A and B are shown apart, each in its own frame.
Chain A
Amino acid sequence: MASSLTVKIWRGTDSGAFSSYEVPRQAAQTVLDVVTHVQRFLEPTLAYRFACRVGMCGSCAMTVNGKARWTCRTHVARVAREGEVLEIAPLANLPVIKDLATDMTGFFDKWAAARGRFHGSATRHDDFARVAPGSPERAAANAGIECIGCAVCYASCDVVTWRPEFLGPAALNRAWTLVNDVRDVAQTERLRAVAGDAGCHACHTQGSCTERCPKQIAPTLAIAGLKRKVGRAAVRGEL
């Protein structure tokens, strides 16, 4: 016999309220399936964002029962047992456009502010750069390179809530991969951009970003690396 699932979904912008819906409960049902069911059959005006449905694009992240998650890779059974209510809200720390869709402009602007772009010096006439796969720099870059920018870490970070100017885990993780890119030539500018309390030094190492990252990346580790590197360079007068 098909049972039913009670789901509360945020409606509105930064001000709004949860609306309650009853959806059929099914085996192997994801939270994104539930949202899609609500939008197709119960609330056609519900706004939410998704694309790939398989954990590659990073666009369907929402707050599920209080924690930021990819809705497409979260089975309902994992977050709400039989008889429990499922609560779905937009990601925290980002302005809400409508319902479950947030404005991620600020999030990505911070990637740019952290100099999250590669600056090389080689041209097409130069030979390939040779980076030893086993070198410590390559290993450090590898550890953070798989980020797809879903903002789960950013929404989970208390420091972002307390200091809205804080660049956040994703942007700093990106900066750390580039700090370890031996081909990059904008290192001083990058270290300056991530220095201080708007940058890496405000992080309290609470580790929510690392715990919640669906890609098992450890931004906490990346930020710790940046703190040491920037702190040392600042004291030595290299910045």
Chain B
Amino acid sequence: MSDANMSDANVAGVAQAKRWYWQRISAMVLALCVVVHLAVLIYATRGGLSAAEILGRTQHNWGFAVFYAVFVVACAVHVPVGLANIGREWLGLGEATALWLARAFALLLLVTGLRAVYAVVA
């Protein structure tokens, strides 16, 4: 419903509102992922596990792969929004600079995160 009545500030505001919304949604996903991640971590390592035993459980486990891929994607959505805010408020960066730096970091998270998931599953 964008129309000519939208000022530049309005357009920027709506984009920021959308980012906030996706940060919220990804936070919900992350809350679940972190709880599952910690619970499994604590449960699985009670008796002590070697790296080979861990890989034995994770390799070709597609449920594990999907779960951690979702975890990584949720991080990549959630983190840049907050980082851009920190950049703006604490480092005094301009909005565009803060956003691009945050996006670059999100890309780094996405690539390294998915690479790690691939490494333990494939």
Contact check: which of A192, A202, A231, A232 meets B10 at CB < 8 Å? Answer: A192
Contacts of A201 in B (CB 8 A): 13, 16-17, 19-20
Q: Are B14 and A234 in contact (CB under 8 A)?
A: yes
Contact check: which of B12, B16, B21 meets A235 at CB < 8 Å? Answer: B21
| Complex: A239 Cα to B10 Cα, angstroms | 9
Chain B stretch 86-122: residues in CB contact (< 8 A) with chain A? 88-90, 95
**Residue A134, interface by CB 8 Å:** no
Instruction: Determine the residue in chain A with the shortest Cβ distance to B12.
Output: A196
Taking the closest CB of chain B, its distance from the CB of A159, in whole angstroms, is 8
**Residue B9, interface by CB 8 Å:** yes
| Complex: A162 Cα to B10 Cα, angstroms | 21
Instruction: Determine the residue in chain B with the shortest Cβ distance to A203.
Output: B20
Chain B stretch 8-33: residues in CB contact (< 8 A) with chain A? 9-10, 12-22, 24
Q: Are B85 and A239 in contact (CB under 8 A)?
A: no
Q: Are A230 and B17 in contact (CB under 8 A)?
A: yes
Contacts of B45 in A (CB 8 A): none
Interface size of B as a range: 20 to 34
**Residue A209, interface by CB 8 Å:** no
Contact check: which of B1, B20, B85, B89 meets A231 at CB < 8 Å? Answer: B20
**Residue A163, interface by CB 8 Å:** yes
Q: Known A162-B89, A192-B6; judge A239-B20 contact (CB<8 A).
A: no
Contacts of A237 in B (CB 8 A): 1-2
Q: Are B89 and A163 in contact (CB under 8 A)?
A: yes
**Residue A227, interface by CB 8 Å:** yes
Q: Are A195 and B1 in contact (CB under 8 A)?
A: no
Instruction: Determine the residue in chain B with the shortest Cβ distance to A161.
Output: B89
**Residue A197, interface by CB 8 Å:** yes
| Complex: A235 Cα to B19 Cα, angstroms | 9
Q: Are B5 and A239 in contact (CB under 8 A)?
A: no
Q: Known A198-B9, A202-B85, A231-B24; judge A239-B16 contact (CB<8 A).
A: no
Contacts of A230 in B (CB 8 A): 17
| Complex: A170 Cα to B31 Cα, angstroms | 32
Contacts of A14 in B (CB 8 A): none
Q: Are B18 and A238 in contact (CB under 8 A)?
A: no
**Residue A184, interface by CB 8 Å:** no
Could you show 24 A-B contacts with beta carbons less than 8 Å apart? A159-B89, A163-B89, A188-B1, A192-B6, A192-B10, A192-B13, A195-B16, A196-B13, A196-B14, A196-B16, A196-B17, A197-B16, A197-B85, A197-B95, A201-B13, A201-B16, A201-B19, A227-B17, A232-B21, A233-B17, A234-B14, A235-B18, A235-B22, A239-B1
The 7 nearest A-B residue pairs measured at CB: A196-B13, A196-B16, A195-B13, A231-B21, A234-B17, A162-B89, A201-B20
Known: A195-B17, A235-B22, A239-B17. 19 other contacts (CB 8 A): A159-B89, A192-B10, A192-B13, A192-B14, A194-B13, A195-B14, A196-B13, A196-B14, A197-B13, A197-B85, A197-B88, A198-B9, A201-B13, A201-B16, A201-B17, A202-B85, A227-B20, A237-B2, A239-B2
B interface with A by C-beta (< 8 Å):
1-2, 5-6, 9-10, 12-22, 24, 85, 88-90, 95
